Structure 1
């Protein structure tokens, strides 16, 4: 299980792929269905959509 927080490194976030089991350490845990990565100049936003429909979003 991979913990996704704002302190998770870009390298680890970039290695996450569909099928990996992830958690936000609070209420969302599950298998990654899709990943969206947006480079917004001042930060990079990762949005992990889980098979349950929940979304874990983090900016680094």
Structure 2
């Protein structure tokens, strides 16, 4: 393990090698998440917000469409 850390039984062994989905924001700044990290090779994903499911789709032209 890098930096002398030991593996947690609940964390996958490769977790340290992957970039984080979001970094803690600077005070007053918005959090940033890379769309590539969210989609992970897929073109759609489901987001649940306050009990409602939304579909986020990446188009071939690089646009994002969010539908209920």
TM-score normalized by structure 1? 0.37
Q: Compare CA radii of gyration and give the structure with the larger one.
A: 2
Structure with higher helix content: 2
